[in-house]
Chains A and B, each alone.
Chain A
Amino acid sequence: MPNQREPVTTVQLACVIINSTIGISVLSLPRWGAEIVGSGGVFATFLALIFYLIFLVILSLVARRFPEQNLIQFGNKIVGKYISFIFGLMITVLFVLLTSMVIREFGEVMATTLLRETPLEVSLFVMLAIVAIASRKNISEFGYIHFYYIPFIIMPGLFLISMAIPEGDFFRILPVLGNEPSLTGMLDSSMTIIALPFFQIGLYTLTVIFPKMQDPKKALKGSLYGWIGVFIMIMSITTVTYAALGAEQINEEVWPVLALARSISFPMPPFQRLDIFFIVFWIITAFTTILSGFLISIHTFADTFKMNNHRKLSYWFLPVFLFVALVPENNVQMYDWMPIIGKTSLVITAGYPTLLVIISMFKK
């Protein structure tokens, strides 16, 4: 067992960001843009990633200013105990909701494609059980877990992209701004994309990781590396999906990226169908994202209530996640709620650190 004090390295930080961000929601990602701005969805995703970078830099700057302190602790310093407590509680609740949506999305993908007879409760419980066990580890082990899983996420992802490129007609991603471009439409869709749970999960894992960084000064560098990884993966998956299916067809798919994986046939008989293989790959991406979301929730909760250890909370939180994840009746309802929950929480998850930065600038 690694030493509790063993710090997280820069490379591990980058891995954590990539793994936490690339999740099961990537399957539906192209649809959120295509619904509003058509072929401009690629650009909307690009904008969303730029916003993501901005928030990432803000969080990294906050962390650099207060090394070895977590969000709640430096919140205490800047805005006082009570406000920090309220925000801590709010962030916990929001991340329970957000992560539950990801868990449910995972469950929906499994139930409609792979495990048609298995009750949803069971596949969700098994995933949550594994996540809960994994979340009992300390942060440096958390870094190792992500470091281990990174090839299982990057390699199949790149393989999918390279197999799908010949399927694409690249005129389908033009015009870049979409037909009948409008600024509000573009901002609206990029906000919807950035409000998807996995971006916020990716962002907030930083608050958990930073206090345990080997060299807090390198935090910014690590998060930039992570962002580049996320950028390359998400942009190429989105672009290829748009090129192969076109915005109109993307609108007709619940999971456009899955549809893309199903349009590819590998010219080697036993491996002709790649979709099942990719669902297995997406189980891993779902696991890493859910693990991060789970950890953020229990960590923020533990910090808010000044507990010195988050590990006791793992099993207590499990039923809560399971319960919330089972609330939506079907994937239509889930996808109706997801942007609402996401946008609401984005106001707080992005607003609070920004507020802290601004106030701390005036305080000095």
Chain B
Amino acid sequence: MTLRFLACCILVSSLAFFLTGCWDQVEVEKRATIVGLSIDKATEEEMKLDDVTHPDFQFNENDQRFKLTAQLSVPGQVALGPAQGNTSAEDNVWIVEGYGITIGDAVQSMQQKIAHDIFFGHLQVIIVSKEIAQEGLKPINDFFHRRSEIRRTVWLAVAEGDAANTMSVAPKLEQIPAIYLSSTLDSAVEMGKFPETHIGDFWVACASLGQSAILPYLEVHGDNIRISGMAFFDQEVMVDIVPPYQVVLYNAIKGSYPPGASLMIPIENGAVIIKSRTREAKKDIVLVDGKPKITIKISVDTEVREKSNEKIDLGSAATIQEIKENAIKNATLHAEELIRLTQKNGTDIFSFGEHIRARLPRYWDEHVKTEDRWHEIYKDLETEVVYDITVDRIGIKAN
């Protein structure tokens, strides 16, 4: 009995050592927490200074050269709640650069300059320069996909020009520029101005056979950052940009939630701005003479936000009818334009291909099968946009 008691004691006390999880304890101060990361192309000179994972710099023609600029949050500097006194973005963040022929290589070169272990768990946004995006994001994806601490809700965005510069723009609303950037994109989704395209969604779109990926496209305007459209990709290689006013139509065709985008509709005596309140999209897919035809039925309820001049009589039913008709005409025209733009490049950002794979599996198995083949077929895909817009709110101003 005493022997058994002793054995139990030893077992229980040894559990005390095992159950504490001390192996994995990390002090918050001893973590180099990266909140934002930008990826640019490095020059050959920059590369030569920063070799960590391999001996002497050997530049291969096919190697890519990445310059990583990380925004680290400085522990203790970021105040909880409103900022007090004179704190600027420079005090709150620390910028570290790294160079390498792969992302992992560049991260190691960055680690060489930081005392603490680099931690990606709070990464909010990754910005890649247009140059890198046009070369393809495949080498970038692997690193971020493989590490389990990186969230799939990280924003991945393409920047016009220098990505590091885009990320360093420090607006007044947030203490950390990278966090401002990610909240800009988050609110754009909430306001219905932009589709939800987190890095996880980007991967799903890249992997799907009948869908091309999209990412937000950012531009620096003085001290501000502007979402200037949507970059679209052909298998991880950036092709072109959808201008902002067409992003609205993209959202409409996808039927994405929530609605809330505004469009300016020209009518006889000027123009009105209408904002969508509810949005619904239905896709009818049929085979016509052995070829798929997609009819996109979009129904939108809208609200009038503004009229451009006093001549417009919003009190009359005829004007409302005119707004409605013109809105349908305009939206249909622009939506068709957008579809044609993507068809020119064979990039199906609307995931029509996935719908066809799902609903006409026999056609897909016989004629499509691969992603490349779908891109070819998509170029001549017959589509029709049928809009149904109602203007059901005018606002509190009477004529």
Contact = CB atoms under 8 A, between A and B. Distances in A.
A172 B364 CA distance: 14
A171 B354 contact: yes
A259 B152 CA distance: 8
A264 to B, nearest CB: 8
Contact of B359 (A117, A174, A181): A174
Interface residues of B, number: 29
Chain B CB count within 10 A is highest, among A122, A179, A252, for: A179
Contacts of A179: 357, 361, 364-365, 369
A251 B365 CA distance: 20
Contact of B204 (A112, A175, A181, A245): A245
Given A169-B351, A171-B358, A179-B361, A112 B148 contact: yes
B200 interface: yes
B208 A249 contact: yes
A249 B207 contact: yes
Interface stretch (B15-23, B83-91, B157-165, B319-327): B15-23
Interface in B198-214: 198, 200, 203-204, 207-209
B207 A129 contact: no
B305 interface: no
Given A172-B354, A175-B361, A248-B207, A263 B19 contact: no
Contact of A118 (B11, B23, B208, B369): B23
Contacts of B19: 126
Given A169-B351, A180-B365, A117 B23 contact: yes
Contact of A171 (B23, B200, B359): B359
Given A172-B358, A263-B198, A273-B151, A249 B24 contact: no
Contacts, number: 81
A275 B327 CA distance: 44
Interface in B3-40: 11, 15, 18-19, 21, 23-24
A116 B359 CA distance: 43
Contacts of A115: 21, 23-24
Contacts of A173: 358
Contact of B152 (A118, A125, A126, A262): A262
Contact of A252 (B11, B145, B152, B351): B145
A263 B357 contact: no
B143 to A, nearest CB: 14
Nearest to A249: B207
Contacts of B308: none
Nearest to B362: A175
A119 interface: yes
A252 B145 CA distance: 9
B23 A119 contact: yes
Interface string B300-342: 0000000000000000000000000000000000000000000
Q: Chain A: interface residue count, which band?
A: 35 or more
B361 A125 contact: no
B23 A248 contact: no
B365 A171 contact: no
A252 B207 contact: yes
B205 to A, nearest CB: 9
B293 interface: no
Contact of A117 (B24, B198, B369): B24
Nearest to A117: B23
Contacts of A248: 207-209
Q: Which of B148, B359, B364, B369 has the most CB of A within 10 A?
A: B148
- Determine which residue in A115, A172, A177, A248 has the highest number of CB atoms from chain B within 10 A of its CB, and name it: A248
A330 interface: no
B355 interface: yes
B153 interface: yes
A246 interface: yes
Interface in A130-182: 169, 171-175, 177, 179-181
Nearest to A129: B15
A56 to B, nearest CB: 32
B11 A129 contact: yes
Contact of B18 (A116, A126, A262): A126
B15 A262 contact: no
A309 interface: no
A263 B200 contact: yes
Nearest to A118: B23
A209 to B, nearest CB: 28
Contacts of B364: 179
A39 B210 CA distance: 13
A126 B15 contact: yes
B24 A116 contact: yes
Interface in B353-373: 354-355, 357-359, 361, 364-365, 369
22 contacts: A39-B358, A115-B24, A118-B21, A118-B23, A119-B23, A126-B15, A129-B11, A129-B15, A169-B354, A171-B354, A171-B359, A174-B361, A175-B358, A175-B359, A179-B357, A246-B208, A248-B209, A249-B203, A259-B200, A263-B153, A263-B198, A265-B151
Q: For the complex of A and B, list the 10 residue pairs with the smallest distance between their C-beta atoms, beginning with the closest.
A: A174-B358, A175-B361, A248-B207, A118-B23, A171-B358, A249-B207, A117-B23, A263-B152, A263-B200, A113-B148
